């Protein structure tokens, strides 16, 4: 039904091919059309060389509704969007497409990083608890033995009572993991140079150095951002400090771990690993990571997938609705925060 005085902002979807169909259910497209003046089925896949229809919508757009695969918003792209005032990103990090030109223009930015953090934290919680129960080891042993066995004797020392878990990085995801761990009888250590003692106390963790965390934890879970200073944050020294049988979990970025040093530990069987990300993102076909029995390797699936994408769409639409009502974003992204965040 047409609005008598239509003050809804004009919006354009901008994301990679096929993403909108996965991100938006029919209810999302209906709500999008209610909040903004837009064609909820028109998607700009390449804003550097748009179709005439997308170019016309871009020229009028006050808001871009983006997701994975969005075109980097360079000065050239922004020149074609003179009315643009905001970018609502229905995913996590905005570093791929939000450029300095956006901040110089004063464009407001928000993302659904909070919605995307939850499935990563849930994945991490599951792997922490499985690691404590030595599920990967036991499943492989059971498959090989196929016979009665004294599992209580073999798994003596396993379990999740009073086990120490180390969290590397109090990022949004790291904090959600800490929150999800609270109901369990676990001791949680944290390494994060931006967190002080009082804040660690509020989180319910013990702040420690990275080396002490690695040496003291049965499970080390990495949640730091990918920055120049975090490249190979977990190196040979940290890995060698980890106790025999300990598990390293990485759902952040592959570059945070020195993979050559990790492979040296994994091939001996001394450590276990759960790797949802690697460096490179797709390991070469001959990589031992595919076949080592002490490695659970997954193809970067800890984040939102399937129906979890709809959670990101819901949060992004909430933010678009705030913008349409003249309210500030509930979860804004600030340029200064990107220097130490994902």
Residues 283-319: pLDDT tens digits? 999 999 999 999 999 999 999 999 999 999 999 999 9
| C-alpha torsion angle, residues 103, 222, 69, 126 (rounded to 10) | -130
The Cα 75–Cα 112 span in angstroms is 24
253 is catalytic: yes
Q: Is the pTM higher than 0.85? A: yes
Residue 214 banded pLDDT, cuts 50, 70, 90? very high
**Stretch 84-101: mean pLDDT, rounded?**
96
Two tokens, residue 255: 């570059």
- Does residue 252 have a pLDDT over 80? yes
The whole-angstrom separation of Cα 92 and Cα 315 is 11
The predicted model gives 233-261 an average pLDDT of: 98
Terminal C-alpha separation, the chain: 41
CA distance 225 to 207: 18
Catalytic residue, from 28, 172, 223, 253: name it.
Answer: 253
> Catalytic residue at 281?
yes
Mean pLDDT of the chain: 96
* Whether 130 contacts 221, CB under 8 Å: no
**What is the percent of the chain where pLDDT is above 70?**
98
Q: Maximum CA pair distance of the chain?
A: 76
Reduced to 3 states, what is the DSSP secondary structure of residue 1? coil
Q: Residue 27 — pLDDT band, cuts 50, 70, 90?
A: very high
Tokens 């020195």 -> residue: 258
Residues in the chain: 342
Give mean pLDDT, residues 191-201. 97
Neighbours of 113 (CB within 10 A): 21
Residue 166: CA count within 13 A, CB half-sphere: 28
Of the listed 300, 311, 322, 340, which one is catalytic?
A: 300
User: Phi, psi (5° rounding) for residue 43?
Assistant: -130, 130
What DSSP line would sit under 181-230, residue for residue? Answer: HTTSSEEEEEE-TT--HHHHHHHT-EE--HHHHHHH-SEEEE-----GGG
Is the predicted pLDDT of residue 76 greater than 80, yes or no? yes
Q: Which residues of 301-325 are buried (b: 16+ CB within 10 A; e: fewer)?
A: ebbbeeeebbbbbbbbbbbbbbbbe
What are the structure tokens assigned to 227, written together?
């920055």
Cα 189 from Cα 177, distance rounded (Å): 12
* Rounded mean pLDDT, 170-183: 97
pLDDT value of residue 340: 66
- 133-146: pLDDT as tens digits: 999 999 999 999 99
Q: What pLDDT sits at residue 226?
A: 94
The strand pairing partners of 189, in sequence order, are: 166, 206
DSSP H/E element including 91: none
Nearest to 331 by CA among 171, 174, 115, 120: 115
Predicted pLDDT of residue 338 = 75
């Amino acid at each position: 039904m047409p609005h008598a005085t239509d003050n809804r902002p004009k919006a354009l979807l901008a994301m990679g091919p096929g993403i909108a169909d996965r991100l938006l259910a029919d209810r999302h497209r209906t709500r999008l059309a209610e909040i903004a003046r837009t064609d909820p089925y028109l998607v700009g896949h390449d804003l550097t060389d748009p179709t005439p229809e997308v170019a016309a919508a871009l020229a009028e757009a006050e808001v871009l509704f983006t997701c994975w695969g969005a075109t980097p918003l360079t000065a050239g792209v922004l020149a074609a969007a003179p009315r643009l005032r905001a970018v609502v990103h229905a995913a996590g990090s905005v570093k791929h497409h939000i450029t300095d030109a956006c901040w110089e223009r004063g464009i407001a930015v928000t993302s659904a990083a909070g919605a995307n953090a939850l499935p990563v934290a849930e994945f991490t919680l599951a792997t922490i608890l499985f690691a404590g129960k030595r599920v990967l080891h036991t499943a492989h042993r059971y498959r090989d033995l196929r016979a009665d066995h004294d599992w209580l004797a073999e798994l003596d020392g396993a379990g999740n009572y009073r086990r120490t878990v180390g969290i590397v990085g109090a990022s949004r995801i790291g904090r959600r993991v800490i929150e999800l761990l609270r109901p369990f009888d676990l001791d949680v250590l944290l390494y994060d140079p931006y967190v002080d003692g009082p804040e660690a106390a509020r989180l319910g963790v013990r702040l420690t150095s990275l080396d002490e965390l690695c040496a003291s934890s049965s499970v080390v879970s990495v949640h730091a951002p990918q920055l120049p200073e975090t490249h190979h944050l977990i190196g040979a020294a940290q890995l060698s400090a980890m106790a025999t049988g300990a598990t390293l979990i990485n759902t952040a970025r592959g570059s945070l771990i020195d993979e050559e040093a990790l492979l040296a530990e994994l091939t001996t069987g001394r450590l276990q690993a759960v790797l949802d990300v690697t460096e490179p993102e797709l390991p070469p076909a001959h990589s031992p990571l595919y076949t080592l029995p002490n490695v659970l390797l997954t193809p970067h699936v800890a984040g939102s997938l399937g129906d979890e994408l709809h959670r990101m769409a819901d949060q992004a639409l909430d933010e678009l609705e705030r913008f349409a009502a003249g309210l500030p974003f509930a979860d804004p992204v600030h340029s200064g925060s990107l220097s130490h965040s994902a």
